[in-house]
Structure 1
Amino acid sequence: MRSAASKLGRVIWTVATDYGPIVVREQIEPDDEPGILELFAACDDWFEAVTGGPSGHGDVQGLFYSLPEGRSFEDKRLFTVRDGDKIVGLVDAVLGHPHRNAVAVGQFLVAPSHRGRGLGTAVASVLVGEARAAGLEEVTATAHDAWPAGQAFLRALGFAIGPVTEPAGNRATTSGEPAVRRATLSLGA
């Protein structure tokens, strides 16, 4: 299903999907900003649903600076999902949150052009497998009531969806954002 390679200090996975091989790359570079802005614009349906407004330049910058209390930049992991040279997905995660043996996923975006054919599931499976191999015990994510497809995706991956909670995670929130729920996946045996 995947192969991992390290290139210039970056971890790169090639994931087999219905679209053909997709590359998941850890670490975002300055040259990636136009592609991420394009992805964010394509995913404005998600931004509108969960934040009440469209994406903007600040959302890309926020990927680097938004961290939960007690976490540092060394804990941040940003992954791009690429179909050839085009960025078609992004995963934002923070190690050691909400506890030291967990990882919290803040955003898991897939371009509308690549939704509905298993790309998200294939990428999530690789990253969950990596978390398990690293000895982590739990993955958490936000499940937005305003984005039912996201909740269905998390349930299909085996996450339990909890009760409504305060907006949390590793990004700044705005007033009036819809309610969120914490989704939890145990990685235990």
Structure 2
Amino acid sequence: MRSRVDDDRMTEPISMTITTDDGRRYTLREAVPDDEPGVLALFEAGGAYLEAATGLPSGPGDLQSLYYSLPPGADWQDKLILVVTEDGGPVVGIIDAVRHHPAPGAWSVGLFLLHPSLWGTGTGRAVATVLLDRAAASGTTLVTTTVPVGWSRGRRFLASLRFRFTGRAPRGPATANRSTGPREPAVERAELVPARKG
């Protein structure tokens, strides 16, 4: 996959265009309220992942959790909810990230979900590469994330991006600022030091 950033101004809101090798164009941008129906439809389509991550089928509370979940010690102003659209069409991806967490200069990525029709096409890698390049250009020195134990597709995806797995996260009564579900599986932590270009 080839990707390119059309807007590399670090002080502007995130809005980037990704062009894949087969000529498809995607936009990665910050979510707006009008995106909510598309995100709900994406959650319904991506139910297999959400069930692997939470132990339950997707429900309306997942959208609320996305907007209100924040890790302890993080600032609301650093929370990013990004959507992916194809040629200005419906939402086909969602990314939840927090800048300057778990430490200054780091990014923590919570949810990274593309429509299942795009799984295995290389689109996720193209989107992630553009976002990681943006993070590195803005001075980010560490990107952290987790993957549900047993979600092999997600583990392979992170490995392809050169994330290093650092072990299981401790299980507690809360995840970010929400209660951990009774069937929610353990997660494995992963981290990446983004490579600076140039």
Give the TM-score taking structure 2 as reference length: 0.87
Whole-angstrom CA distance in 1 between matches of 2:137 and 2:166: 25
Unaligned runs of 5+ in 2: none
The two structures, once aligned, show a CA RMSD in angstroms of 1.9
What is the CA-CA distance between 1:19 and the residue it aligns to?
6.2
If each structure's strand is expressed as a fraction of its own residues, which one has the higher value? 1
Contact 1:78 1:92 in 2 (8 A): yes
Whole-angstrom CA distance in 1 between matches of 2:27 and 2:176: 24
Are 1:178 and 2:182 counterparts? no
Whole-angstrom CA distance in 1 between matches of 2:194 and 2:175: 20
Whole-angstrom CA distance in 2 between matches of 1:14 and 1:174: 36
Amino acid at match of 2:77: E
Q: Residues 15 and 169 from structure 1, CA distance in 2 versus in 1: closer, same or farther, beyond 3 angstroms?
A: farther
Are 1:112 and 2:119 counterparts? no
Q: How does 1:85-124 map to 2 (within 5 A)?
A: 85-124=89-128
What is the CA-CA distance between 1:146 and the residue it aligns to?
2.5
2:145 aligns with: 141
Unaligned runs of 5+ in 1: none
Q: How does 1:42-121 map to 2 (within 5 A)?
A: 42-84=45-87, 85-121=89-125
Q: Residues 171 and 128 from structure 1, CA distance in 2 versus in 1: closer, same or farther, beyond 3 angstroms?
A: farther
Are 1:11 and 2:14 counterparts? yes
- SS in structure 1 at match of 2:126: helix
Contact 1:50 1:144 in 2 (8 A): yes
Contact 1:106 1:169 in 2 (8 A): no
